[in-house]
Amino acid sequence: MNAAGGRDRRAVAHRAPDGAPTASRLAWRPHVAIVGAGIAGLAAATGLAERGIQVTVIEREPYLGGRVGGWTESSRGADGAALAMSRGFHAFFRQYYNLRALLRRADPELHRLVPLTDYPLVDAAGRRDSFRGLPRTPPWNALAFALRSPTFRPRDLLALDAAAAAPLAAVSVPGIYEQLDDVDAETFLRRINFPAAARHLAFDVFSRSFFAPPGQMSAAELATMFHIYFLGSSEGLVFDVPDAGFDAALWEPLRGYLTARAVTFRTGTEVTEVQINGPRRFRVLTRGGARLDADAVVLAADVAGLRAIVSGSPDLAGAGDLAAPQNLARAAWCDRVAALRTAPPFLVQRLWLDRPVDATRPAFLATGGLDPLDNISVLDRYDRQARDWSRRQHGSVVELHAYAAPSEPALGKRMIERLHALYPETGAARIVAESVLWREDCPLFGVGDFARRPKVVTPVPGLVLAGDGIRIDLPVALMERAASTGWHAANCLLARWGLAGHTVYSVPTKGRFAPLRWLAEAGLRRVPGTWETEGMHR
């Protein structure tokens, strides 16, 4: 095991500045208000509390975890038992070093995570891809996946436009964004001559995990994703899932860990404004009229929440001479926050069925070209709460997802029809209980967004940002980006007070094979003036 807790010996340690071990060395104990109790906010709270900082976490929802939260439904099943619900399936990849470091605080051996040995992909023609048994070491993992795919033949590999595909083999962060952020993922895959069928079965499935269709997603994000999961890491493509609802398996244990370190949680509380120059520099106001004074603030809200707080906080935009450099910087920063976009809406539909799903069905199945359905999860394969219910009722708990979903009355009905077509045994099942969740609050990683995305550090001293929509120049994505920005936000504040930070880890920050990097750069040099080289900084 490497220092990051994984297998890859090339994982990179990004070390924080040294300093005093705890706030007890200071003349006073700083107080930090953290807005948002998702992964980013909880990582920031952990990083600060472990150095003796007084922390208050304020969360709009009544539960922890943000978009990876879990709760108990107010309605109950036919047997009167409470029904667990969440915002849907999440894959905890082995490359998520900083997220897993957070979870280890309450579960040192990660016993509450269980591996899924495979997660097949199926398309409308019935073709299937599988991740079972792939080698861990790049580039052989990507090559083996491509060559055994029914949609990718050896001649397709030879037909790829090597020059156009060069960035995939030479990803560096943030350099890849300078090369490809002005191109959408669909256009990029078409221009490298990636086979259409393979594109729909593999890349479309992954791009839609960012909650957006490939035509709206940055090609740089796609290339970074390819680096994280294929060519940049030897952790493999197998991932873990919690063995129960997110609240029971992850966040309530972490709440206990943080509460023991004097962290205070205020859930069900919405922040509306952050003022400057209170008794402790910042004053955080809530919709209920409560006030909280703090020495520093971490804004770890979702995109819509962050936009609302910043737009509702005149102090953050500056005051006095609007032409003063610091106020110009603040105004530009406010514009960056206001420009953050959300991805199209998604639907989570959880069904409690009165009969079991066939035992041969995988725990997770991703689909391509089977709109509006994007994946099926059979929760009782790995979630003990769902398994207990299924045993009592001789049934099953199934979850359906639709990403970038159209808003239409019949959407749920169409999802169930897809389920019946793929798993015919469910056609005769009676739905004992159903819970439907419709949300539109995930960040959009759209074309051209990276350069104007706000970073963790802001122009307001003592105010930092965290979240999966916040820019950090590391090869991280999704939940791992949230965790990484949370740790980094804590480190930035700790450095202000001369306290030691926490090491952040990532997969290698550039393509790990010099020959591939050389070939990629040579390929780019051979096509001057084309779209592949526009905007490159050497």
Q: Give me the pLDDT at residue 142, please.
A: 78
Q: Give me the pLDDT at residue 527, please.
A: 39
Cα 440 → chain centroid: 15
Q: Give me the pLDDT at residue 139, please.
A: 77
Secondary structure of residue 98 in the 3-state scheme: helix
Instruction: Tell me whether the omega of the peptide bond preceding residue 372 falls within 30 degrees of 0, making it cis.
Output: yes
Give CA–CA dist 316/302, Å, rounded: 18
Dig out the tokens for 406 from the structure.
């159209």
**Residue 114: partners with Cβ closer than 8 Å, 6 or more residues away:** 240, 241, 242, 243, 382
For 439-503, what is the HEC assignment? ECCCECCCCCCHHHCCECECCCCCEEECCCCCECCCCCCHHHHHHHHHHHHHHHHHHHCCECCCC
Dig out the tokens for 231 from the structure.
């060519």
Query: Please, are residues 1 and 235 in contact by the beta-carbon 8 Å criterion?
Result: no
Cα 133 → chain centroid: 25
Q: Give me the pLDDT at residue 203, please.
A: 67
Query: Please, are residues 102 and 6 in contact by the beta-carbon 8 Å criterion?
Result: no
Per DSSP, the residues of 80-117 read S-EEEEES----EETT-HHHHHHHHTT-TT-TTEEEES
Q: How wide is the angle at C-alpha 32 spanned by C-alphas 26 and 33, nearest 5°?
A: 170
CB atoms within 10 A of CB 384: 17
Helix then strand count (H, E) for the chain reads: 18, 22
Dig out the tokens for 412 from the structure.
């749920």
**pLDDT in 10s for each residue of the chain, 538 residues:** 888 888 899 999 999 989 999 999 999 999 999 999 999 999 999 999 999 999 999 999 999 999 999 999 876 666 667 899 999 889 999 999 999 999 999 999 999 999 988 888 898 888 888 888 888 888 788 778 877 878 777 777 778 887 788 888 889 899 999 999 999 998 998 898 888 777 666 666 666 777 888 889 999 999 999 899 888 999 988 899 999 999 999 999 999 999 999 999 999 999 999 999 878 999 999 999 999 999 999 999 999 999 999 999 999 987 654 556 778 899 999 999 999 999 999 999 999 999 999 999 999 999 988 999 999 999 999 999 999 999 999 999 999 999 988 888 899 999 999 999 999 999 999 999 999 999 999 999 999 999 999 999 999 999 999 999 999 999 999 999 999 999 999 999 999 999 999 999 999 998 877 666 666 565 544 433 333 322 322 2
Query: Please, are residues 456 and 485 in contact by the beta-carbon 8 Å criterion?
Result: yes
Q: Which domains are seen in the chain, by residue range?
A: 12-66+246-340+454-505 (3.50.50.60), 135-234+511-525 (no CATH)
H/E element, 49: helix 39-49
Q: Give me the pLDDT at residue 538, please.
A: 26
Give CA–CA dist 242/263, Å, rounded: 24
Dig out the tokens for 37 from the structure.
């109790």
Q: Give me the pLDDT at residue 195, please.
A: 80
Q: Give me the pLDDT at residue 341, please.
A: 95
